[in-house]
Amino acid sequence: MNTWLLTLQNSNSPTYDMMIFFHDFTMIILIFITMMILFIMMMMMKNKLINRFLLQGHSIELIWTIMPMFILVFIAMPSLQILYLTDELHNNKLTIKTIGHQWYWSYEYSDFMNMEFDSFMIPENQLTMNEFRLLDVDNRCILPFKFPIRMLTTSMDVIHAWTVPALGIKMDSTPGRLNQTMLFMNRPGLFFGQCSEICGTNHSFMPIVIESTNFINFKNWLIYFINNN
């Protein structure tokens, strides 16, 4: 986890890889448009673009109508592809349900009996040297990497948002409704997120921690949890 990060977080999912590509692709187009407009304005200020057909000319009107149309098409194509892929669920082998409360998260491993727990932020006076202030929790959501997972989310009170930037996930947790998405992680590690919907007084104090590990460690953790609860 990088501190004082000015760019996007490093990706840990194929979906977020595509989102980063789309961001960079769109920024190139925006920089090109900005520089072109700046150049035209500077030329006009120097009186080098004086043309009696400029203000009421069919050619210039045709150009500034067709060019934005093509630009919007180039932006829309990758955007629609990512939108479709984030909603597509295929060959999922594990289902995790996350429930938002004021102000903590609870997790249900729906494929296993009695497999659920609450996840609270660790208070500042209980943190150890290797834990992050306002980001670490007492019970992490442990998941296997390189394993297709279906994520479900809902809420018990108000609207929350289950958000983990490094995984490219931001789902609204709405009372009385189940939202779902696909999660596939590329590598092990700790990945932090927070509720991204203003949900009340302690909105800033309900973080999310995903611990990505290999399937053997995940299975051992499941056996330990089931035997001790």
Q: What is residue 2's predicted lDDT score, i.e. its pLDDT?
A: 53
Are 85 and 15 spatial neighbours (Cβ–Cβ below 8 Å)? yes
- Asked whether 190 and 210 are in contact (CB, 8 A), the reply is yes
User: Can you give the pLDDT at residue 200?
Assistant: 87
- Do you know the residue count of the chain? 229
Cis peptide before 103 (omega within 30 of 0): yes
Look up the CATH number of domain 94-228.
Answer: 2.60.40.420
**pLDDT averages per 10-residue partition of the chain, 229 residues:** 70 90 92 90 73 68 87 89 81 89 91 85 87 88 91 92 92 91 90 91 92 92 83
pLDDT given at position 35: 95
Name the residue ranges covered by the structural domains of the chain: 14-45+60-87, 94-228
Token pair belonging to 19: 């989102």
Can you tell me the distance from the alpha carbon of 116 to that of 124, in angstroms, rounded to the nearest whole number?
Answer: 25
Round to whole Å and give the CA distance between 84 and 33: 28
Global model pTM greater than 0.85: no
C-alpha separations of 18 from 83, 163, 165, 224 in Å: 10, 17, 13, 36
The whole-angstrom separation of Cα 39 and Cα 6 is 28
